[in-house]
Structures are given as structure tokens and as C-alpha cells.
């Protein structure tokens, strides 16, 4: 029997204790079988349990093994494409509904942390940092756009003000979102898993779903057992492989890399991020960073299309970190890792139903910490027969990547190269 551990990372090294979770052996019956114990799966499971469903979660490796346990930890509101783009694509009515939901994920995280007493170093405050005047102009219109949807905890930062919250002289300004913030992502997932179990849900680790028998009473098969369920939620995202071939065609796994310094000490940490906000810049290929609870800098950036693991992550990410913070040149990097997110062509999530009883949500294309928490709620609503919000996502159009499975990676990399050049020359 395979035993897939967490990849080496700062998060795995500082994870809260978790109980042993055995692999599924034999047959079980449940109302809902959730495939994948990342945020999408755990959030779905929690909302369903809170509404009286019996839930069984199958996880191929360990809780939070995927992006949910490896990400930058940034609570970023809205979607990877903003509401104005959605509005142009789907019209005002659907955009209105999606816009109203765009800030709910961050609230759900905070409610979960408070209700289930999850220890995950939650901090309020996220900064979008503009490198060019054009990016600053975009932030100004983004603020107006978000305020239209009732999101008002926003402050534009001029050059002087951003220097007060980020000790880096690359930025011409920015926007502070006090309903953004940051967390220890794996500890959030582990806390949510404990909450699932406290409500009577069952999580099997080392239990990959290897086949789904579709039909009126679907059955999910694992190497040593099977789950018969009324409904299935597919939440394997970039790690799903080809379990559900219909989902693979319109999305592409991509890797992104993160490094973590040694502890910096209070004074140096405070000189970088005096208010302990997290930061992401406004480039298409963006850099993101924040401090951990023990005052290390977590710094991420870059994208590897097609999700190949780069050989030397530190060599890719450290120069980006030193460009922002040259004063860290003698600081040691203690951890470096890679993780996969799932990209769609529109960069909007792919949500839907296969037949009557198989539901899925995946492909939030980079910004997923908040969306995945919302997704769990929306999927649970749909299973309870209230599908209006689910349909607003399910009706978003999705297209296959040009070039099909074979050529989608070079095509997407070419697109990113073009946007990377635009970032570089400030277009």
C-alpha cells in the first residue's frame, strides 16, 4: 500500500499534530463521497455535515497534501479574473451574483477559524503593490469596482504610505485590503479536517479514488475499498489526473514555487513588513510574500506550465526575493518547495455537475484560498437543492486550451512569456 508523505516544506515542518487517518479498507455507505482533502473538499464536507449529511472524504495522500497545504497563505479576495471581466463575458445579472460572492470566502475562513478554534496564525491585512503607474491606475479602478459590490475595507496607498507598510522601494503605490490577510495554510486545512471529524465525518488518507462507477447509485473505488454514495464531489484539482476525463480537457496543472528563510528576528522582520500584512505585486507573473508566525519570510513567485518540478527552486525564487529585499542577501533559505494549481483558459473556476449526482469545482487558477472555501458552501447548497449560486458559476463558459493536451503547455508558456515581457517593460 502506497504511503505518500507531505513534501518537505516549512508548513510540513511546523504542522500542528494530527491523528492517524487510516486508508479505506472494505465497503462503506454514505450520503456524499468527497474526493480530495484540500480546501474545496474540506469546506464542502464541513458545510454538508453542518446541514445533516453523512460525509466520507477520500484523500490520495494526506490532508492538505496538494496546493492547500503548500500555498503562499495569502487570503486574497475575488477571483483570478476580476468581476469587470466576468461582467463583459456573461452580462450584468450573473456578474452581480458572482460579484456579491467575491468576498465571502475570506469571511468563511474567519468564521471557521473562530468557530472551530483553528490555530493557523491568522493575520488581517493584504497589500496589492503596484510597480508601475499603470498598475496603480488599475488598483484605483479595482477599488471602485469592489466598492460597487459592497466591499469597503480598502485603502489606496501612495508611494509614501506603502513604504510605511512594505520596506521595499520597488513600488509606486498600492491598495490595502483589511479583509485580506494570511494564514499557515496547512494548519488551516488540518484544523478544518479536525472540524469535519468533530461533526462525525470520516476522512481516509492514502486512499486515492481510482475509478468512479457512475449511475443512480455511484460507487467510488479505492485500491482496497469502495464508497457507495448518493452524491460525489470531485475536489482533486491539479492533482486529480485523469480520473474524470471530461474535466482534464479544459484545465492545465501548473507549478509555482515558494521559499522560506530562516527566522529573521523581530527587528529585521519588522523592517520588511512593519504591520505584518501580506503582499502580492500586480504583475501577471506575480511575486507574493509574507511573514510566518515565527518571523520567517515566505516568498513565492514564478509559474512552471505543465507542472514539471524545477530542479533548483532556490535559484529561481531567491533572486526575486533579493530584488525586493536586497538586505536579505546573507539570510539562509531553510525550505524550498513547489506545488500545483489548476489553470483554466479564462482563469475562472470550472464548476458543474456530471449526470445527476457528480459535482465538481476546480481550476481557480492561482487565487484559490478564498474561492475554495466559498466553493464548498455553494456545492453544499446545490446538493440541498438551492442551485442559484452554483449555477452562476456552472454557467461560466470554458474552452479547451489551444493545441489540446499535447500542445497546451507550450502555448500557455508562450502566452505567459508575452505577459512576462509586458510586466518587464511596464505595459
Ligand X SMILES: Cc1cc2nc3c(=O)[nH]c(=O)nc-3n(C[C@H](O)[C@H](O)[C@H](O)COP(=O)(O)OP(=O)(O)OC[C@H]3O[C@@H](n4cnc5c(N)ncnc54)[C@H](O)[C@@H]3O)c2cc1C
Residue 292 near ligand X by CB under 6 A: no
99, 127, 246 from 150: Cα distances, Å: 9, 19, 36
Residue 71 near ligand X by CB under 6 A: yes
CB 153 within 8 A of CB 140: no
Q: What span, in angstroms and rounded, lies between the C-alpha atoms of 59 and 131? A: 40
Q: Minimum distance from CB of 118 to ligand X (Å)?
A: 16
CB 329 within 8 A of CB 259: no
Q: If DSSP codes are grouped into helix, strand and coil, which group holds residue 385? A: coil
The residue from 45, 56, 70, 350 that contacts ligand X (CB under 6 A) is 70
* Residue span binding ligand X (CB under 6 A) among the ranges 25-33, 34-42, 164-172, 350-358: 34-42
Q: If DSSP codes are grouped into helix, strand and coil, which group holds residue 241? A: coil
> Hey, which residues between 367 and 396 contact ligand X (CB under 6 A)?
367-369, 372
| Shorter beta-carbon distance to ligand X: residue 86 or 227 | 227
Q: Minimum distance from CB of 92 to ligand X (Å)?
A: 26
φ, ψ (nearest 5 deg) of residue 47: -65, -40
* Residue span binding ligand X (CB under 6 A) among the ranges 53-61, 121-129, 132-140, 319-327: 53-61
Q: What span, in angstroms and rounded, lies between the C-alpha atoms of 162 and 156? A: 9
Question: Torsion angle, CA of 62/253/71/348, rounded to 10 degrees?
Answer: -120
| Shorter beta-carbon distance to ligand X: residue 52 or 245 | 245
Q: Minimum distance from CB of 292 to ligand X (Å)?
A: 13
> Hey, which residues between 74 and 133 contact ligand X (CB under 6 A)?
74, 76
Residue 66 near ligand X by CB under 6 A: yes
| Shorter beta-carbon distance to ligand X: residue 69 or 99 | 69
Spell out, one character per residue from 299 to 318, where the chain touches ligand X: x when CB under 6 A holds, - when not. Answer: -x------------------
Q: What span, in angstroms and rounded, lies between the C-alpha atoms of 323 and 416? A: 21
The residue from 33, 162, 258, 379 that contacts ligand X (CB under 6 A) is 258
In 3D space, the residue among 134, 119, 235, 103 whose CA is nearest the CA of residue 186 turns out to be 119
| Shorter beta-carbon distance to ligand X: residue 130 or 303 | 303
Torsion sign, CA atoms 91, 92, 98, 102: positive
In 3D space, the residue among 89, 149, 359, 125 whose CA is nearest the CA of residue 244 turns out to be 359
- Enumerate binding residues for ligand X (CB under 6 A): 35-41, 58-61, 65-68, 70-74, 76, 208-209, 235-240, 243, 256, 258, 288, 300, 339-341, 362, 364, 366-369, 372
Amino acid at each position: 500500500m502506497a504511503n505518500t508523505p507531505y513534501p518537505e516544506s516549512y508548513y510540513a515542518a511546523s504542522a500542528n499534530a494530527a491523528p492517524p487517518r487510516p486508508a479505506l479498507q472494505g465497503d462503506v455507505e454514505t450520503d456524499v463521497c468527497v474526493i480530495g482533502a484540500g480546501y474545496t473538499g474540506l469546506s464542502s464536507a464541513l458545510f454538508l455535515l453542518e446541514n445533516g449529511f453523512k460525509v466520507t472524504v477520500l484523500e490520495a495522500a494526506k490532508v492538505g497534501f496538494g496546493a492547500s497545504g503548500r500555498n503562499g497563505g495569502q487570503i486574497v479576495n475575488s477571483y483570478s479574473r476580476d468581476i469587470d471581466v466576468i461582467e463583459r463575458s456573461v452580462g450584468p445579472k450573473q456578474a452581480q451574483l458572482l460579484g456579491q460572492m467575491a468576498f465571502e470566502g475570506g469571511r468563511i475562513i474567519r468564521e471557521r477559524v473562530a468557530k472551530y478554534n483553528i490555530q493557523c496564525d491568522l493575520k488581517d491585512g493584504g497589500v496589492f503593490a503596484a510597480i508601475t503607474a499603470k498598475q496603480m491606475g488599475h488598483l484605483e479602478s479595482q477599488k471602485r469596482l469592489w466598492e460597487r459590490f459592497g466591499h469597503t475595507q480598502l485603502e489606496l496607498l501612495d508611494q509614501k504610505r506603502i513604504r510605511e507598510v512594505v520596506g521595499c522601494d520597488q513600488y509606486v503605490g498600492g491598495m490595502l485590503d483589511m479583509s485580506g490577510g494570511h494564514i499557515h495554510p496547512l494548519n488551516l486545512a488540518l484544523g478544518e479536517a479536525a472540524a469535519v471529524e468533530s461533526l462525525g465525518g470520516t476522512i481516509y488518507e492514502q486512499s486515492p479514488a481510482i475509478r468512479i462507477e457512475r449511475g443512480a447509485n455511484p460507487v467510488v473505488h479505492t485500491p482496497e475499498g469502495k464508497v457507495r454514495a448518493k452524491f460525489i464531489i470531485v475536489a482533486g484539482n491539479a492533482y486529480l489526473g485523469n480520473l474524470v476525463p471530461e474535466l482534464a480537457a479544459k484545465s492545465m496543472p501548473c507549478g509555482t514555487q515558494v521559499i522560506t528563510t530562516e527566522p529573521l528576528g523581530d527587528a529585521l522582520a519588522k523592517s520588511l513588513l512593519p504591520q505584518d500584512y501580506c503582499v502580492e505585486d500586480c504583475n501577471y507573473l506575480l511575486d507574493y510574500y509574507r511573514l510566518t508566525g515565527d518571523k520567517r519570510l515566505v516568498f513565492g513567485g514564478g509559474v512552471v506550465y505543465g507542472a514539471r518540478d524545477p530542479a533548483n527552486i532556490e535559484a529561481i525564487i531567491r533572486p526575486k526575493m533579493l530584488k525586493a529585499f536586497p538586505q536579505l542577501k546573507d539570510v539562509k533559505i531553510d525550505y524550498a518547495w513547489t506545488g500545483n494549481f489548476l489553470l483554466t483558459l479564462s482563469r475562472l473556476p470550472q464548476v458543474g455537475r456530471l449526470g445527476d449526482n457528480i459535482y465538481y469545482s476546480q481550476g481557480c487558477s492561482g487565487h484559490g484560498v478564498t474561492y475554495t472555501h466559498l466553493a464548498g458552501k455553494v456545492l453544499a447548497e446545490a446538493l440541498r437543492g438551492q442551485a442559484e449560486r452554483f449555477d452562476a458559476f456552472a454557467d461560466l463558459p470554458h474552452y479547451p486550451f489551444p493545441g489540446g493536451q499535447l500542445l497546451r503547455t507550450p502555448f500557455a508558456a508562450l502566452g505567459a512569456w508575452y505577459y512576462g515581457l509586458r510586466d518587464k517593460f511596464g505595459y
